[in-house]
Structures are given as C-alpha cells and as structure tokens.
Structure 1
C-alpha cells in the first residue's frame, strides 16, 4: 500500500506533575483538565507512551504502527539504518509553575547498561518566562564530587549550582551528566533523545498531596554526573525566513526559523524533519495542498516529503537528526 504524504500531528500526551500549571491551556490553547499539567508530549515513541496520529488518513494509528508499516517513508533510510524502527527523539512542551527537582540524565552507555534505554541529551527553548524566572544548570566553577556529596548531605545543594535568569527565546543545551532544574514560571519546548530516564538528587524538601517526598536517585546519579566545564547557554542568529543553526549534536540538530513571509524547504528524503510553532501562525504547502498551523502545534514532516513551502508570520523550530 502506498504511503500518503502529508504533515502529521499527534494527540498530545498530558502529564500531571507536582510542579505543573495551566499555561499549556492559557498560552498554547491545549485542552487540559487539571491545574497541575506539567508536560505535553507532542511526539513520542517511548514504550507505554506512544503517540497517536491526530489528523489525515492515518488518524488513530500510533507512531509505532506507522513506522512498522512505513519505516523508510516516515523515518528515512538514514534514520532507519541508525536506529531501526525506534523513533529517536521526544518532543515536549513543559509548564513549570514551580521548580522542577534538581536532576540529571545518564549517557547512552550507562542508560543502555542499566535501563536498556537511550541516554537523554536535551535542549530547552524558552517560550515564555515570568519576571524573575531562572533555570539551574551545572555546578559553579571548581565544584568536585566531594563538594557535591557534602552539600547534598547538608541539604544545601542549590548553593553550589549556577542559577541563570531567563527570558523568551533563551536556549539551553543540557548534555548527559549535567545537573539541572527548570525553575518556576517558565514555559518551554524540550527536544531530547527518546528516553524517560531521570535521576533526581534533590527536590527542595517538598511533599506531595499525600505528605510524601518524591523518590530520589542519589546512588544511581553518582556515576552519571559530569563535573567538567560545559557550554550550556547558547546564542544564535535570527535572520528572517532562514534556518538559523542553534544546536548541532550527534543526537539532533535544531534551527531557528523566524518567518515573516516565505520559507522554501528542499530536504533529503533519508530523514524526517519536525517543526514546533512557538509563536504566530503559518501554512505548509505540500504537493499543492495547504495545511494551517499555529502556536503550540508540532508537525512531523515524513522523510518521503522532499519539497515544501511554509508561509506566514511565525516562529518555528526546525529539528532533524544529522
């Protein structure tokens, strides 16, 4: 059966979190039914959280089934040869009404050995930030394992971590092993490897609705922490109607596309592309058909599609595996 070529969107998978809020509804217009929704998984191949197509002829089919039937058409030969039928990336919107836990993620080797999973390198793009909002990323200069263990035991860990004030458009690249936390008052896009492995090391001594503290993973985290210097805050060009490179790492590449009129894309057909609309609205024209999208939409362009035009006034993130 031939593959129907069109931009695919998925049903969001909402996750309630102790730190979640309502901005997924008030800012992005998503239909949430709780005031504690922290995450909207926009495209996921994570086991037990596989996305379901929301539009077109494949509506109701999950991503796993779609890839199983059309691996080259969806993923592309390059991605299929590298990852098999696993969708290699996970895309989320996160609404942090309160601080997330201080945490980190293992690299591929450690995650494979311990969890039979990929590691979790990730990137954040800040869509909105309340006054005074900040992220916690990496240690202050000179901190070593003995300092970390001492402050962890004394519950003073935040005192040796970098706090960085944030605003709309800021980008942070979080390598595996980097200690981090998204602060309260931030709505962002998270782009990451397909993994749900997180090691929490400190949770601000808070309790859930039942009066319980959340599980920590201090022992697992010991061997996963990277104390070396890192480039975490990224800058990028913002030329109109062009793809401006933000990140190019072994796991994903991300471009910033500020659209004021028209962006013509000709891509190779050996890999998929993914777009997140962070602001405004736009139209994708593919094979003489038009598809409208707006802020909060996430769009999978299957590998089989090689040529399309995006028009409108919008801000897009363009993601692919290089």
Structure 2
C-alpha cells in the first residue's frame, strides 16, 4: 500500500487550567469542558493517535512503523528509534496558568522512568492582552537560594515572566523551569515523553478530585538547570515561501514557512518524516496527483517516502517539523 499524507484523530485532554479556545479558535470538535490539550500526533503508551482517513485509517504510529519502517519515518530515524515515534505534537490552551514545572534530561528520564527526556518548544498562536509565559530564572540563583524561595512560598518572584504575542517562540530544553500563563494558545513540539515535575501549583484544588495536585520537588531539584540567561525568546525571519529556521535542536528541527501563492517543496535529500502544523490561514497540498487540505489548528504528517509536495495558499503560516 502506498503511503500518503496523514492526518490523525486528535486526543483531547482535560486539564484544570483548560479553556475553550481549541474549540472556538481552532475548530476542534468535542463536548467535554476544560480541554487544555489537543494531542495531534502521539506515540505515548496508552495515548496513541490513529490515522483519521484513507486506506490506513485507524492505524497507530507504531503499526505504521512496524509495516513501513524507514519508508515511514526515514532510514536514519528508524535506525535510531526503532518502532518508537520520537515526537509528540500538541496544541495547548491555557485559560488559567499551568503549574511551574521542569522536565528531566534524557539521562535522568531513562534512569527514573525508562522514558525519553522532554526537550520542547512553544510557538504562540494567540495571546490575550498582557498574557505571559514563565521561562527560566530572572536572576542568578543557586540551589540553596531556590530551596529557600520554595519554603517561603516566594518562588514566583525569582522566575522570568515574559509578556507574549502571536508568533513568539521559545525553546525549552530539559532542566529549564517554565509555565504557560493564562490566556495563551500555542503549538508545542516535544520529544515523546509525558514526564513532568511540578514545582509550584498556586495551591489550587482540582475540581474533579477535590485535592491539590501532587508536587515533585524532590525529583525536580536534581533536574533543574540553574543557569541564568538574559534572553529566552527565539528570533527568526519570516521571509515568504522560505523555510525560515525557527528551532533546530538535537531532538527536532522546526522551520517557519509563510506560504503565499505556490511553493514547491523538495524533500529528496531529507531522510525523515515531515510534520506540518498550520498555525494561521489554510492551504492545499498537492502530492502524487492527490490534493489535501490543511487549515488553522490542523496537523499533517508526510511519510519519509514522500519527496515532493506543492503548497498552495493565498496566505498561510506553517510550522515545518522533522528530524
């Protein structure tokens, strides 16, 4: 069976901080309330997304990799990761702030949880007035001072708060303390991992359980990178019909593409699958004589065997993701 561009059925996740923007702004269809995350492409155990349409409908990423191997993910990707798909792709809507958290490195995650680490990035799609993110520390700080701030319930005072707007991008390597603030809708690209250490959660109670959520400060202490940085935001260009470098890390590469009219994409030299996240507008994708549509809030995976596509749009913004 010939591989083709694939959409997956999203998995919608209840979060006590979730809102309605996934439905009202990204046109996601669900009936539950407080949905904070749409998992677009996932190989997390127990949370595997399935192909939405076509001959491969209902298949998971693992099933596709087992069948098609390098033709699906790329020969070098298959050699490194085997039947594990390496990325988790999400849209996130924070009506209220997420907990202050940190993710363990690959080494710690493997040792403690038999998991990948969780290096990730955020691309802000929409932000309410004065909405902010928390990324890293506001000043030089050591482990002892940090622990004192935790004990005094003043840890927020040493965090770096940054007001954000549409298009703002942040790379969050493992070890960097972070949180999404209220009023932010964003796209998240990360390693396949669901390991998070909560540090601070505003002493709030989850309405579904009647309890405060668990904190993981003992585990987090060894995972935190206390290095101070003066600037956390990623700068990038927005040239039309160009793959503008956004975040290129050892774990994934993401480019920003503003599509206007027609753009031919040649992936013959790329030994990887490609994921498109449409973050604004809509477009048509022509591939092997077939046409596929993609609109704001939708995600499409091009198997590695697809080496050429044509993108057509009056105007659309894409995140292009690959290994």
What do the CA deviations read for 1:215-272 (whole angstroms, capped 9, x no partner)? 0000000100001134521010000011100111100010000111122111135210
Deviation per CA, 1:21-44: give whole Å up to 9, x if none: 110000000012122000000000
The CA deviation at 1:284 is 0.6
> Could you list the per-position Cα deviations for residues 127-186 of structure 1 after superposition, in whole angstroms to 9, with x for gaps in the alignment?
000001000110112111111101111111100100000000000110100001000000
| Aligned residue number for residue 218 of structure 1 | 217
How far, CA to CA, are the matches of 1:4 and 1:152 in structure 2?
Answer: 55
| Superposed CA offset, 1:72-92 (max 9, x none) | 111110100111111000000
The equivalent position to 1:65 in structure 2, one of 63, 66, 81, is 63
CA RMSD of aligned residues (A): 1.0
- Retained in 1: the 8 A contact 2:125–2:167? yes
Secondary structure of 1:260's partner?
A: strand
Which residue of structure 2 lines up, in the alignment, with residue 245 of structure 1? 245
Matched, 1:206 2:208: no
Alignment correspondent of 1:43: 41
Cα distance in structure 2, aligned partners of 1:198 and 1:258: 33
Aligned to 1:184: 182
CA distance in 2, matches of 1:177, 1:15: 25
2-side partners of 1:89 and 1:304: how far apart?
A: 18
Q: Is the 8 A contact 2:140 2:227 kept in 1?
A: no
The answer to whether 1:159 aligns with 2:160 is no
Tell me the SS of whatever aligns to 2:245.
strand
The secondary structure found in structure 2 opposite 1:299 is: strand
Alignment of 1:298-309 (within 5 A): 298-309=299-310
Give the TM-score normalised by structure 1: 0.97
In the alignment, does 2:126 pair up with 1:125? no
Matches within 5 A, 1:60-99: 60-99=58-97
Where do 5+ consecutive residues of structure 2 fail to align?
none
Q: d(CA) in 2 for partners of 1:303 and 1:211? A: 46
CA contact (8 A) 1:22 1:34 kept: no
Match status 1:104 vs 2:114: no
Following the alignment from structure 1 to structure 2, what is the Cα–Cα distance between the partners of residues 155 and 269?
49
Residue 281 of structure 2 corresponds to residue 273 of structure 1: no
User: SS in structure 1 opposite 2:146?
Assistant: helix
Find the aligned partners of 1:308 and 1:229 in 2 and give their Cα distance: 42
Q: What is the total number of aligned residue pairs between the two structures?
A: 319
Asked if 2 retains the 8 angstrom alpha-carbon contact of 1:269 and 1:305, the reply is no
CA distance in 2, matches of 1:256, 1:48: 31
Is the 8 Å Cα contact of residues 24 and 32 (structure 1) preserved in structure 2?
no
* TM-score, normalisation: structure 2: 0.97
**Structure 2 Cα separation of the partners of residues 36 and 29 of structure 1:** 15
1:39-85 residue CA offsets vs partner (Å, 9 max, x unmatched): 00000011111110001110111111111111111111010011111
Counterpart among 292, 315, 318 of residue 317 in structure 2? 315
Decide whether the 8 Å contact of 1:22 with 1:36 is kept in 2.
yes
Q: Map of 1:256-267 to 2, 5 A cutoff?
A: 256-267=256-267
Q: Which 5+ residue runs of structure 1 have no aligned equivalent?
A: none
Q: Which runs of 4+ in 1 moved over 4 A?
A: none
